Each structure stands twice: as C-alpha cells, then as structure tokens.
Amino acid sequence: MSDPIHPPTHRPLWSRSRSHSSNPSSSEPPQSRSRPIATADSNDRVDPERRPTPPRSIERIACLTVSGLDGGGSLERIGDLAPTDPVGTAEAIAATDRVTECFVLATCNRVEVYVAGRSPGDCPAALEAVRQTLSMPADASIGRLYAGTDAVAHLARLAAGLESPILGEDEIIGQLRRALEDADEAGLVDGVVGRAAEAGLRAGRACRTETGIADGSLDYGTAARDLLAAEVDSPDRIAVVGAGEVIQAAVDALRECWPAVRIDAANRTVERACNLATDDGVAVGLERVGEIVTSADGVVAATGADEPVVGADAVTEGPSAVVDLGNPPDVDPTVGDRADVAYRSLVDVQRRASARTSRREAVPEAEAVVEEHVRRFVRRERENRAEETLRALHEHAAAVRETELERARNRLRDGDADPERVLEEFATSFAGRLFGPPTDRLREAAREDDPELLRAAGELFDLPTDPTNDDDGE
C-alpha cells in the first residue's frame, strides 16, 4: 500500500517561509460574476464561457478594488481609503467570523482587498467587513466588486500590468509580491487566496516574458523624466525627494538622459538618499529638503507622506519644473498656480504614459496568456478536490491495514497459528473491511436502479464487464 496522497507543498512565488494548503468549504450557493459598483464598464475582456466550471473553493474568493481608472476612484479618494498598515487592516478583516483569508494592496493609484469566506455564501458578509474596515459608506459608488473566477482573473490582469494606468508597468508586480509576503508572514493567505495570488504572479511573469506587454522603457520614472525634459533643456542640478522604487526608476531615467547632471536627494533616512545622489551631489533628511530644492533646476518627488514635504516657499527661487508623483501630493499644490513653475502631478504622469501606444499591440496576446493561467488555476483547484478524497481514502486503507496487521502479528506471536493460514485470514479480513461498505452501497444502487453509480464503479476499478449490462447471457 502506498503512502497517503497529499496536495503539493511547493513554496509560493512570494513566500519567505510558509507553504499553503487547502481550506475546506461548506455548502452555500456560488456567486461567480463580477459586479461593478461604479460607472465604468465591468471586466468583459475575457470570455468566461471558455473557463472550466470553478470548484467551490474558488467561489469563496471576492475582491474589492478602487483605482484611478474607475469612474469614481479619484486619486484623492484613494489616498483617503489607503490604509497606513495594510497587514493590520487585513488582520482586522480576517478577524470577522465568516472570513478565512485576506490581503490588502495599497499603492498611490489603487486599493485592493482580497478575501475568502468560509463558504461562497459568505462573500457578501466578507465584502461588508472590507467596507466597514476601510470606512466606506454603505452607498459608496466607487470601486468594483469581483467574485469567484472573475476575482482570480482580475488579480492576474493586475500582476500583468493590464489594469495599470501605465500599461505593463513593472512596479505593480513587485508591490503585489511584497503585499503577499507581508500577509503570508502574518498567516493571512494560507488557502485558496494564497494559491490564487500565486497563479496571478505566474501569469504576470509569463506576460512579461512571452509577450511584448513590458517592452521598452515605460514606467512612472521614465514618464516623470520625459515631463521634466519637456520643460528643462539641459539641467545642471536635479533634486529628488524620496527613495522608493519610483524615485529609483526616475533617477535611472534621469542619468540615462543627462549623464553629467548633478542629483541631490532628500529622504527620511539619509542613508537611502546617499544611494541616489551622484558623487557631486548631496544627501539630506526631509527636514532639510528646502536646501536642495531651492538650488535645483528641476524636482521629482515621491515619498508616500500624508502631507506635502516640499513647501511653496522652497520653490520660490528654485526649480522651473516640478514633477510630483505623490498621492497625496508631496509638493504644496499651490505651486501649480505659479506661472514661472511647470508643475506636473501624478495625474499628468499617468496621462502621458497612457497616451503611448507601443505596448498596446501586445494586449490581446497578454490577455490570452492571463486567461490560460486562470483556466489552469481552475483545473488545479478542481484536482484538489480529488486530492482530499484520495487522501481520506488512503488514510482509511492505512488504518484498516494497521489494525489487521496488528491482529495477525498477535496471532503469530502466540506460536500456535499456521503462518500460511494467518496470511490468508489477514488478506480476507483486510479486503472485507476495505470493500464492505462500497459493496453494500453498490448493491443498494442496483436495487434502486442507479446505473450511474454502478457504471462509475466499473470505470473506477477498470472492471472487465459493464456492471450496468442487463443481459443475462442467454
């Protein structure tokens, strides 16, 4: 007898330490279609009819997303909703009685919350817990709701950069991976949501390697550089404020465009600012940001602060162009009212990037890759149902075997029993206990004229004759 069968225990793509297992689901009616709650169109870019019928585990997944692409999802509103502690927010949602998993993704352009209920019927209660935790009014008309396979497809499209203002951007897949790492360490994604996220990350990576969705330089940093270059011909000094991935991308783009430019950097931690400043530049803390802004020709800012870190007075005699990637803004918005300063906000950056068409030809191919990964995930989840049944079957067989083996060992220890007879009785008893209940159920099926169960038994055990054949052989 082989060892009991267990589901795969490979480490998920984002995992630092944990592995994922199945979560059982109970018997509530499924809900699988996305339900828009904004004025924008729902996600109709894929053909759900081509997907395999989803198992109940997938029907337990739901997602609430608010992004700058939604009709009512302004960047200001997103800034209000975005939690300062995504893991703490996810833990508060997961503490709800009917929620088993949760993770939160919060960026300057979107807030996404993925949950799993104990059953498909718990999805409305889980989404209500999300609304309450984010302090969204019950009649809020922003954002979108996705459930079941549509939630999985949305997550995969997100990882692929198909839902981003900058098509195919690379930042989002890193942000998604880190959000999952944090949730994983907190034990919040150890079931179907975790497996769906892994499938989404795989889809995102496949789109970037198999299609042209990520070809060329097209990200927030590059777009910021282009806006700055449109206003400043040959800058001598540029000040960057912040030290995250977006600023790093901007610095790389600036150096590519102007190799000799001096770059000064300001950040909460001066050590990280030092990594961005050029050899002839300076690195300061945010409390000294005015020192580098007033002497710069241009400024790029992205800190994630709750309020502006660059005051209007710092720009009085300084830069002629400011690109503010913060949400909320990192630079006093009144700077935009000045005629002598070209002020560009995050919305301007996104608008410029979305106007490019170099990657749009790859969209159909990328969407096909996403949909294929969604179908694979659905098939794997359906197979997981068999894994649970097979595990139970093997565990039952192993328990029967151990009981009968112990009985046979005891008889052999006595020394009086014939070993050959003990083996025969062991085999008979083992087979009888293993096949007794199925035998009774098949006889009952025959009495009740249930040919489907009889036919299934024939296929399952590869029987040489059709058990549903009524021919008596005459």
Looking at the fold, whether 413 and 443 belong to one and the same domain comes out as yes
List binding-site positions for substrate.
107-110, 164, 169-171, 175
Does residue 68 lie within any of the structural domains? yes
Q: Which residues are annotated as a binding site for NADP(+)?
A: 242-247
Q: Is 207 a catalytic residue?
A: no
CA atoms within 13 A on the CB side of 356: 23
- Domain assignment present for residue 22? The answer is no
Q: Are residues 112 and 162 in the same domain?
A: yes
Q: Are residues 256 and 350 in the same domain?
A: yes
Burial 308-326, CB ≥16 within 10 A → b, else e: bbbebebbeebbbbbbbbb
Give the residue numbers spanning the domain of 273. 220-354
| Active-site residue, selected from the candidate residues 102, 108, 123, 207 | 108
Domain holding 369: CATH number? 3.30.460.30
Cis peptide preceding 467, ω within 30 of 0: no
Give pLDDT tens digits along the chain (474 positions).
333 333 333 445 555 443 333 333 333 333 333 333 332 333 444 455 667 788 899 999 999 998 865 544 455 566 677 788 999 999 999 999 899 999 999 987 789 999 999 999 999 999 999 999 988 876 656 678 999 999 999 999 999 999 987 788 888 999 999 999 999 999 999 999 999 999 999 999 999 999 888 876 667 888 889 889 989 988 999 999 999 888 998 999 999 999 999 999 999 999 999 999 999 999 999 999 999 999 999 999 998 788 899 998 888 777 889 999 888 889 998 998 888 899 998 888 777 766 555 577 889 999 999 999 999 999 999 887 777 777 888 888 888 889 888 888 888 887 777 888 888 888 888 888 888 888 888 888 888 888 888 888 888 778 876 655 555 444
Half-sphere exposure in the Cβ direction for 158 (13 Å, CA): 31
The sign one gets for the Cα dihedral 189, 194, 198, 201 is negative
**Residue 29 placed within a domain:** no
Using CA atoms, how far residue 37 sits from 34, 72, 413, 459, in Å, is 10, 10, 73, 47
Are 236 and 161 within one domain? no
Q: How many CA atoms lie within 13 A of 27 on its CB side?
A: 0
Clarify whether residues 326 and 411 are in a common domain.
no
As for how many domains the chain has, the answer is 3
What are 82's two structure tokens?
Answer: 């975005």
- 307 in Cβ contact with 300 (< 8 Å): no
- Note whether 62 and 113 are same-domain residues: yes
Say yes or no: 168 and 253 in one domain.
no
Task: Say whether both 206 and 314 belong to one domain.
Answer: no
What is the distance between the alpha carbons of residues 444 and 450, in angstroms, rounded to a whole number? 8
Query: CA 43, CA 331: separation in Å to the nearest integer?
Result: 35
Residue 375 and residue 345 share a domain:
no
Structural domain includes residue 470? no
